[in-house]
């Protein structure tokens, strides 16, 4: 009888230990993740925090930062600051908030160093395309609007905090650079909330900072531009901490017509989809070189693009139009490629 | 009841407690760990048939052995709106924003998380 | 003895089948909430009459049961079959290896556990093929199985005791396996 009592005591202790284990494991510094539809895409924020309440508060705050910024530069919203700028093209400078000014200045910078391979004034051209309905503009329409595409016609006055589009009919589209900027804003906000590690992912624009609770870097998958099934959706995995990653690909928004691929990354000099690359992924310490930069490198092609990457001191993976992968030397330390790539 | 308890051995009790503890712990873990991901993947007969973005509200009708199963995506969540399988278990699961809904008779599995949320491979985010 | 074995198997199978049929008539809000009443018969058979008898009864129940339901060789048959075989084998092994360390409740728990493992594994390969989905529902299924396993085990235990008292005859344990 005594034996049974001891055995039962041991069982009770075992149960208590197991339950404690279960409870504590879901509450110790853990990784928390939330997703919210924002800026016309899905934004996922992952943080390392001590409790789900702490994580939730920080993440929701970061989401609202992104939402507010998104409203300011929303191309399709009449009340956005961007729309005000576009409406007043050729008419007036428009006063804007610091965030909008910041992203526009960043866009101009990238346009400058890429000699126009990235150009936020691509608005009039991209507006004529519809990738869901498979509509593309005529060659004449494309040619006629080309003169409106010129980043040098964006006049920024820092002191007055104004932006002016010099020619009537100019349209600025910040889609190619806004998500990255939003991610940077969110990152700063998370840091302010006291979060030490996490990832902000606005669609494919990613900012990873700090390390996971087990002291390993974050694993970021790089999509395979020509995936054929669920199994080969990733071509590589990057192990990162304190890096910004961005990718531009010809598979994000596109349609096929007569065997040709028409995608959303237009060459500002010709108005047609740039055809030298399938995808470009840039990994850098600074968010400035992520977003719009990948578009610029994509348009420039593997040789000129790689030169720009090296001159800027960042790392990149370029998959050219034939599927050949070009990388910077620094990539080897960070990225592991899947078999077959 | 007393007869029953007297009939059980120590090993029995231990086994019972372990199983209960393990499954309860497992439930906690699986709820915490489930990815949210940006896509809803609907697998039919083991093959992913539909990969849909969560941010677009829509209704999808999937034919199966027990008629058409209607899946609804709204506000980033998904549910089985209408099913004709014998148990209607899938309908009863309501809206999910993470994890999965399974309709075994119709061979349909709806997972939230798709590729970007693939836990087994340990990927935290996907670019591209 | 051969005749008595056959007789026993037939009677046990009949009980198992009717329990199975009865159970399928019960409305369940959740399909996973199968009470597994037929497993009581399997367990009683195992303890009183040996592994071979228990396995035979299980096989008969699963096969005939699915023929009656019209699902023979179909996916539900595959699930029942694998679940039944796995649980009977596991219980048999546990009983033969560990003797009396486990009582009927413990054996029933083991049976339930392996029944569920086999079914989940088969479901993964046949239908689901997304590990996350299977891992997600697995703990719930195991939990339910554990609870029903205890109940079944308790009933089995009572039945065994009653039958041992009633018969008073020599029970032949089939140790040939």
Pick from A21-35, B75-89, C113-127 the range whose average pLDDT is largest. C113-127
Instruction: Give the C-alpha separation, A119 to A298, whole Å.
Output: 13
| B55 and B10 in a common domain | no
- With beta carbons less than 8 A apart as the criterion, state whether A48 and A30 touch: yes
Nearest to B89 among C30, C129, C138 (CB): C30
Residue with tokens 């649980």: C87
Q: How far is B121 from chain C (nearest CA, A)?
A: 11
Q: What is the pLDDT of residue A22?
A: 47
ipTM greater than 0.95, yes or no? no
CA distance B56 to chain C (A): 23
Of the candidates C76, C98, C78, C91, which has an alpha carbon nearest to the alpha carbon of residue C43? C91
Residue A253: Cβ-neighbour burial (10 angstroms; 0-12, 13-18, 19+) = middle
CB distance A221–B54 less than 8 Å? no
Answer yes or no: is B10 within a domain: yes
Q: What is the pLDDT of residues A172-215, one digit of tens each?
A: 999 889 999 999 999 999 999 999 999 999 878 999 999 988 88
Mean pLDDT, range A1-17, rounded to an integer: 52
Residues 72-91 of C with CB under 8 A from B: none
Q: What pLDDT does A268 receive?
A: 95
Name which of B29, B46, B92 is nearest C29 (Cβ-Cβ).
B92
B24 with B79, same domain: the answer is no
Q: What is the dihedral of CA C144, C148, C150, C154, to 10 degrees?
A: 170
Cβ–Cβ below 8 Å for B32 and A30: yes
Buried b / exposed e along A119-148 (16+ C-beta atoms within 10 A): bbbbbbbbeebeeeeeebbeeeebeebeeb
B113 pLDDT band (50/70/90 cuts)? low
Pick from A34, A35, A281: which is nearest to B128 by CB? A281
Asked if the model's pLDDT at residue A100 lies above 50, the reply is yes
pLDDT at B115: 42
Same domain, B23 and B53: no
Residues B28 and B43 in one domain: no
Asked if B25 reaches chain A (Cβ–Cβ under 8 Å), the answer is: yes
Q: Are C109 and B12 inside 8 Å of each other by CB?
A: yes
Q: Let me know: does C99 contact C46? Beta carbons within 8 Å.
A: no
Averaged in consecutive runs of 10 residues, what is the pLDDT profile of chain C (177 residues)?
78 85 70 72 88 90 85 81 92 86 88 90 72 75 88 87 70 47
Rounded Cα gap, residues A248 and A205, in angstroms = 9
Do C156 and C44 meet the contact criterion of CB atoms below 8 Å apart? yes
Look at C105 and B35 and tell me if their CB atoms are within 8 Å: no
**Tens of pLDDT along A104-129?**
999 999 999 999 999 999 999 999 99
Query: Could you tell me how many helices (H) and strands (E) chain C has, helices first?
Result: 6, 0
Task: Write down the pLDDT at residue B120.
Answer: 34
Q: Per-residue confidence at A27, pLDDT binned at 50, 70, 90?
A: very low
In the predicted model, is pLDDT for residue A283 greater than 90? yes
Strands annotated E in chain A: 30-38, 41-49, 94-95, 154-157, 162-165, 198-202, 205-209, 218-223, 234-240, 243-249, 254-257, 260-263, 277-284, 315-320, 325-327, 335-337
Please give the pLDDT value at position C7.
83
Nearest by CB to residue A199, choosing from B10, B124, B128, is: B124
Q: In chain C, where are the structural domains located?
A: 2-167
pLDDT confidence of residue C34: 66
Task: Kindly tell me if the per-residue pLDDT of A297 is higher than 80.
Answer: yes
Cross-chain Cβ contact C139/B22 below 8 Å: yes
pLDDT in tens, B14-46: 889 999 999 998 888 776 666 555 677 787 766
Whether B46 and B95 map to the same domain: the answer is yes
Q: Do A34 and B36 touch (CB under 8 A)?
A: yes
CATH, residue B100: 2.60.320.10
Whether C153 and chain B come into contact, CB under 8 Å, resolves to yes
Question: Is the pLDDT at B74 greater than 70, yes or no?
Answer: yes
Number of domains, chain B: 2
Closest C-alpha to C40, from C151, C119, C137: C151
Res B21: pLDDT: 92
B51 shares a domain with B76: yes
User: Region B41-66: what's the mean pLDDT?
Assistant: 76
Pairing of β A277-284 and β A243-249: antiparallel
Q: What is the pLDDT of residues A58-94, one digit of tens each?
A: 999 999 999 999 999 999 889 999 999 999 999 999 9
B vs C: CB pairs below 8 A = 122
Nearest CA-CA distance, residue B16 and chain A, Å: 10
Length of chain C: 177
Q: Which domain holds residue B70?
A: 39-112
Backbone torsions φ then ψ of A339, nearest 5 degrees? -60, 140
Inter-chain touch B7–C126, beta carbons under 8 Å: no
Strands B99-103 and B77-82: unpaired
Please say whether the beta carbons of B35 and B119 come within 8 A.
yes
* Cβ within 8 Å, pair B24-C139: yes
Q: What is the CATH number assigned to the segment(s) C2-167?
A: 1.10.1760.20
User: For residue A200, which of A50, A69, A105 has the smallest C-alpha distance?
Assistant: A69
- pTM exceeds 0.80, yes or no: no
CB contact C69 to B (< 8 Å): no
Residue C5, pLDDT score: 78
Are the beta carbons of C133 and B111 separated by less than 8 Å? Answer: yes
Q: Would B121 be classed as within a structural domain?
A: no
Is residue B59 located within the same domain as residue B98?
Answer: yes
- Identify all chain A residues contacting B17, using CB atoms and an 8 Å cutoff: 11-12, 14-15
If phi > 0 it is left, if psi is from -120 to 50 it is alpha, else beta; for residue C73 that is left
Alpha-helix runs per DSSP H in A115-244? 123-126, 139-145, 175-192
- Closest residue in chain B to residue A232, using alpha carbons only: B115
pLDDT of residue C128: 60
Cβ of residue C25 closer than 8 Å to a chain B Cβ: no
Domain shared by B20 and B76, yes or no: no
What 3-state class would DSSP assign to A201?
Answer: strand
Q: Are residues B105 and B53 in the same domain?
A: yes
Q: Are C90 and C43 in contact (CB under 8 A)?
A: no
B101 and B55 assigned to the same domain: yes
Q: Give the one of B14, B21, B128 whose C-beta lies nearest to A249's C-beta.
A: B128
More confident residue, A101 or B113: A101
For A31-51, the pLDDT digits (tens) are 888 878 788 777 889 999 888
Q: What are the residues whose beta carbons fall under 8 Å from the beta carbon of B6, sequence distance 6 or more?
A: none
Report the SS3 class of residue C56.
helix
């Amino acid at each position: 009888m005594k034996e049974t009592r001891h055995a039962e005591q041991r069982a009770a202790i075992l149960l208590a230990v197991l339950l404690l284990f279960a409870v504590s494991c879901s509450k110790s510094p853990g990784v928390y993740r939330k997703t919210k539809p924002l800026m016309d895409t899905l934004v996922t924020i992952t943080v390392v925090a001590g409790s789900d309440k702490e994580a939730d508060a920080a993440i929701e705050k970061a989401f609202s930062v992104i939402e507010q910024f998104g409203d300011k530069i929303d191309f399709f919203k009449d009340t956005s600051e961007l729309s005000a700028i576009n409406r007043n093209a050729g008419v007036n400078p428009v006063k804007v908030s610091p965030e909008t000014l910041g992203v526009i200045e960043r866009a101009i910078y990238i346009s400058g160093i890429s000699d126009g391979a990235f150009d936020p004034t691509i608005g009039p051209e991209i507006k004529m395309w519809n990738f869901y309905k498979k509509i593309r503009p005529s060659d004449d329409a494309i040619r006629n609007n080309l003169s409106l595409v010129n980043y040098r016609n964006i006049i920024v006055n820092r002191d007055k905090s104004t932006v002016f589009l010099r020619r009537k009919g100019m349209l600025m589209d910040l889609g190619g650079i806004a998500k990255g900027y939003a991610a940077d804003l969110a990152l700063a906000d998370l840091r302010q909330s006291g979060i030490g590690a996490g990832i902000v992912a606005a669609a494919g624009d990613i900012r990873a900072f700090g390390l996971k609770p087990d002291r390993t870097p974050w694993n970021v998958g790089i999509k395979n531009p020509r995936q054929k099934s669920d199994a080969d959706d990733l071509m590589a995995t990057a192990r990162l901490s304190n890096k910004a990653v961005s990718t531009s690909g010809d598979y994000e928004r596109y349609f096929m017509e007569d065997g040709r691929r028409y995608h959303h990354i237009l060459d500002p000099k010709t108005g047609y989809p740039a055809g030298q690359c399938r995808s470009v992924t840039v990994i850098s310490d600074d968010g400035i070189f992520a977003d719009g930069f990948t578009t610029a490198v994509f348009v420039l092609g593997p040789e000129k693009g790689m030169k720009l990457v090296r001159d800027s001191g960042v790392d990149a993976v370029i998959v050219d139009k034939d599927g050949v992968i070009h990388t910077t030397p620094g990539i080897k330390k960070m990225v592991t490629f899947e078999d077959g790539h | 009841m007393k007869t029953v308890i007297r009939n059980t051995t120590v090993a029995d009790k231990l086994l019972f407690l372990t199983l209960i503890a393990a499954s309860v712990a497992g439930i906690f873990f699986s709820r915490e760990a489930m990815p949210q991901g940006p896509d809803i993947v609907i697998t039919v007969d083991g093959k992913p048939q539909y990969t849909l973005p969560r941010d677009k509200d829509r209704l999808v009708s999937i034919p199966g052995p027990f008629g058409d199963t209607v899946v609804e995506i709204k506000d980033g969540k998904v549910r089985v709106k209408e099913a004709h399988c014998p148990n209607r278990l899938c309908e009863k699961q309501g809206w999910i924003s993470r994890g999965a809904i399974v309709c075994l008779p119709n061979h349909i599995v709806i997972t939230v998380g798709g590729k970007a949320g693939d836990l087994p491979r340990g990927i935290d985010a996907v670019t591209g | 003895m051969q005749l008595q074995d056959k007789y026993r198997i037939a009677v046990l199978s009949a009980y198992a089948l009717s329990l199975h049929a009865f159970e399928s008539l019960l409305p369940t809000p959740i399909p996973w909430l199968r009470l597994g009443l037929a497993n009581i018969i399997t367990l009683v058979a195992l303890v009183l009459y040996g592994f071979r008898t228990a396995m035979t009864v299980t096989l008969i129940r699963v096969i005939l049961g699915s023929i009656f339901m019209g699902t023979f060789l179909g996916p539900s048959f595959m699930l029942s079959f694998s679940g039944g075989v796995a649980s009977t084998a596991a219980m048999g092994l546990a009983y033969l290896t560990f003797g009396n360390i486990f009582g009927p409740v413990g054996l029933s728990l083991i049976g339930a556990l392996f029944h569920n493992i086999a079914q989940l594994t088969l479901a993964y390969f046949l239908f689901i093929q997304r590990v996350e989905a299977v891992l997600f529902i697995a703990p719930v299924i195991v939990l339910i199985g554990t609870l029903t396993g205890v109940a079944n085990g308790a009933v089995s235990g009572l039945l065994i005791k009653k039958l041992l008292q009633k018969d008073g005859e020599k029970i032949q344990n089939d140790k040939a396996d």
